[in-house]
Chains A and B, each alone.
Chain A
Amino acid sequence: MINKKIGVLLLLMVLFSMGAQAQLTTSVKLNEVLVVNEDNFVDDYGKHHPWFELYNNSAGTVDLRGCFLTNDKSDPRKYMIPKGDVLTKVPPRQHILFWADNAPTKGTFHVNFTFDPNKDNYLALYDSDGTTLIDEITIPAGQRADVSYGLDIDGIGKWAILDKVTPSTNNVTLDSNEKIENFQKNDSLGIGMTITAMAVVFIGLMILFLVFKQIGNAAIRTSKRNAQRAAGEGIAVSANAGQESGEIFAAIATALYEMSDDNHDIEHTVLTIRKVQRSYSPWSSKLYSLRQTPNKK
């Protein structure tokens, strides 16, 4: 019994940790970098500095406090994202921007390194243990001024020179609702949608039908086998067990319907076939409110 409980507990822990994983810091991706900032986004001090953006690619809020940022492979703990700053929490599918200005005294989002436009720049994000690599990228040398390098689709795409510089916003934005426009263009009558959707509805319910036909057949076989076994043991079984006529069901249904009719509900003396049961609960059980009888040995 105890082993069973431990097993269930372990299973729940495994499931919980798997579920929780989706909202851990591992969901955060390096998303966009601007190495040469001449006339682009300014920081809160009105200065132009290189910057890089992280993207929370999960459906839950992620707190980056205690994680590490670095531009040096041999020093994963170069800049620790400070703890105790509420702004280190990144909401789902949103961004956080850091300034690579080598001025950490300016605040949480100013790291203690910068980029060199004349050579390849390494950038990595490490988990709070300082050893688990979450994401890394090497930005090729020779980046053009005010042109950013980033993922072509937020969080999941490939690194490329981006058409637009998009600090703290999505790298890809849609100017139109492509899905709807495609339907308007290619299926203006709605016939395609109707055929597809009806086919899916039919397939879904057809599969259910086939599965339950088989389950039903198996249930009937089992019930017959049990009846035969019972007959063998001399237990009386009705020949048409399980094959009651529709009239019986209809009569029961009508009786139930009439019983639940408003007219009957207000009669206190009406006889019903409603089962009267009390819900058992340890909170209401008399047994638990009594003292244990002393056990005399």
Chain B
Amino acid sequence: MQESFLQFLGENIQIFLSYTGFANATPGHIVMLLVGLLFIFLAIKYEFEPMLLIPIGFGILIGNIPFKDAGLQLGIYEEGSVLNILYQGVKQGWYPPLIFLGIGAMTDFSALISNPKLMLVGAAAQFGIFGAYIIALQMGFDPSQAGAIGIIGGADGPTAIFLSSKLAPNLMGAIAVSAYSYMALVPIIQPPFMRLLTTKKERLIRMKPPRAVSQTEKIVFPIVGLLLTAFLVPSGLPLLGMLFFGNLIKESGVTRRLAETARGPLIDVITILLGITVGASTQATQFLTLNSIKIFGLGALSFVIATCAGVLFVKFFNLFLKEGNKINPLIGNSGVSAVPDAARISQNVGLEYDPSNYLLMHAMGPNVAGVIGSAVAAGILLGFLG
């Protein structure tokens, strides 16, 4: 009797142990857990995009706890599990437009409205997307996968998730993590190329102070902006529509509570859900592949191409501008839509060469134009390849 009870107890403990993470761990899980920890470390120690890297890093930990599939609806890929339900916002692509709503409600387009020619810098930097697209094709990805990878060059996490969920859902985890990682690393990636491609004289260019923008102009901007861009690229409507709607509720002046919710609690909630689920979707079995490594390489390259394209375009544009109207090419990097980090880098690099030359306001122009540009580019890729 006692012996059979002990045997029963032993068997149960053995079954229990077979369900633990220790029994099911693989080297892949360990690697991914280390990646998650690295993200959290970078976010806390160096403050690299902590709002994103902490949820993603912790999500990676959650997604890579090994367990035996016992039909308990635990994993993010198991239909009906809590994580799976939250993941639908990523999979079906409705988190990114909500993030764009918040971005619209917190973005001041004044710098762009006061000097609209800076929009073209935002357009030029989108070459990063298509440069990466060309290289991805040569590396053996099919056109829709290449398009999804290329969008990393837009330096816009929500856009990257939105497009990859439509064009290459199986690569979405790697693309999202790559996009957010490089956005965090913008201060390291961009400055060397900005210095390399500019002369000392160019770095000292002082730009005309931006004029004050009236409220009417600010109200007209999102309306006209939506009509023009969405008529041209209707497939970008979810992103463009929400971006400009968010901006209208900010600028209208009569929907302050809506704007505050959109740029505060709403975007925070969605950022938490998006970060944690994107992180959790990077399960070792799905994520640790040769393709992920290629995507990381292409992601870095796309940021470099975007930075160079923006800086070189400003230099080219300057050939046609009169003295006094010239643009400092150090704001060319801001054409990628990593708002406001890219603009802050323009400011910091500019201050290194002239401590009284403040480029922040000017750099915000191409920076916010980059948000519009990358949403338009995503719409084009979706229209062509979707």
A contacts with B, residue count (CB < 8 A): 46
Interface residue? B94 (CB, 8 A): no
Q: Which of A227-262 contact B (CB under 8 A)?
A: 241-250, 253
Residue among A183, A188, A196 having the largest count of chain B Cβ atoms under 10 Å: A183
Q: Which of A203-219 contact B (CB under 8 A)?
A: 203-209, 211-213, 215-216, 219
- Contact across chains for A193 and B120 when beta carbons are under 8 A apart: no
Residues of chain A within 8 A (CB-CB) of B116 are: 208-209, 212-213, 216
Of B10-18, B85-93, B138-146, B155-163, the stretch lying at the interface with chain A is B138-146
Bound form: Cα–Cα A250–B359 in Å: 8
Residues of chain B within 8 A (CB-CB) of A245 are: 209
Closest A residue by C-beta to B124: A202
Interface residue? A153 (CB, 8 A): no
- Contact across chains for B377 and A197 when beta carbons are under 8 A apart: yes
Residues of chain A within 8 A (CB-CB) of B232 are: 200, 203-204, 207
Closest-CB distance, A205 to chain B (whole angstroms)? 4
Interface residue? A220 (CB, 8 A): yes
- Contact across chains for B384 and A179 when beta carbons are under 8 A apart: yes
* A-contact 0/1 string along B237-259, CB 8 Å cutoff: 00000000000000000001100
- Contact across chains for B126 and A247 when beta carbons are under 8 A apart: no
- Contact across chains for A223 and B214 when beta carbons are under 8 A apart: yes
- Contact across chains for A201 and B228 when beta carbons are under 8 A apart: no
- Contact across chains for B130 and A198 when beta carbons are under 8 A apart: yes
By size class, the interface of chain B is 35 or more
- Contact across chains for B214 and A207 when beta carbons are under 8 A apart: no
Closest B residue by C-beta to A223: B214
Closest-CB distance, A89 to chain B (whole angstroms)? 22
Residues of chain A within 8 A (CB-CB) of B142 are: 180, 184
Bound form: Cα–Cα A183–B142 in Å: 9
Interface residue? A6 (CB, 8 A): no
- Contact across chains for B143 and A244 when beta carbons are under 8 A apart: no
Interface residue? B221 (CB, 8 A): yes
- Contact across chains for B257 and A189 when beta carbons are under 8 A apart: no
Residue among A222, A250, A279 having the largest count of chain B Cβ atoms under 10 Å: A250
Closest-CB distance, B272 to chain A (whole angstroms)? 19
Closest-CB distance, B2 to chain A (whole angstroms)? 59
Of B35-43, B54-62, B293-301, B368-376, the stretch lying at the interface with chain A is B368-376
Interface residue? A46 (CB, 8 A): no
Question: Chain A contact residues: over half helix, strand or loop, or mixed?
Answer: helix
Bound form: Cα–Cα A200–B230 in Å: 12
Q: Out of A194, A220, A248, name the residue touching B211 (CB < 8 Å).
A: A220
Residues of chain A within 8 A (CB-CB) of B133 are: 190, 193-194
Interface residue? B123 (CB, 8 A): yes
Bound form: Cα–Cα A247–B356 in Å: 8
Q: Out of B134, B361, B372, name the residue touching A205 (CB < 8 Å).
A: B372
- Contact across chains for B376 and A200 when beta carbons are under 8 A apart: yes
Closest-CB distance, B315 to chain A (whole angstroms)? 17
Interface residue? B207 (CB, 8 A): yes
Interface residue? B127 (CB, 8 A): yes
Interface residue? B185 (CB, 8 A): no
Interface residue? B358 (CB, 8 A): yes
Interface residue? B21 (CB, 8 A): no
Closest-CB distance, A171 to chain B (whole angstroms)? 22
- Contact across chains for A279 and B256 when beta carbons are under 8 A apart: yes
Complex A-B, nearest 6 residue pairs according to Cβ-Cβ distance, in ascending order: A250-B358, A194-B130, A190-B134, A212-B116, A246-B209, A242-B212
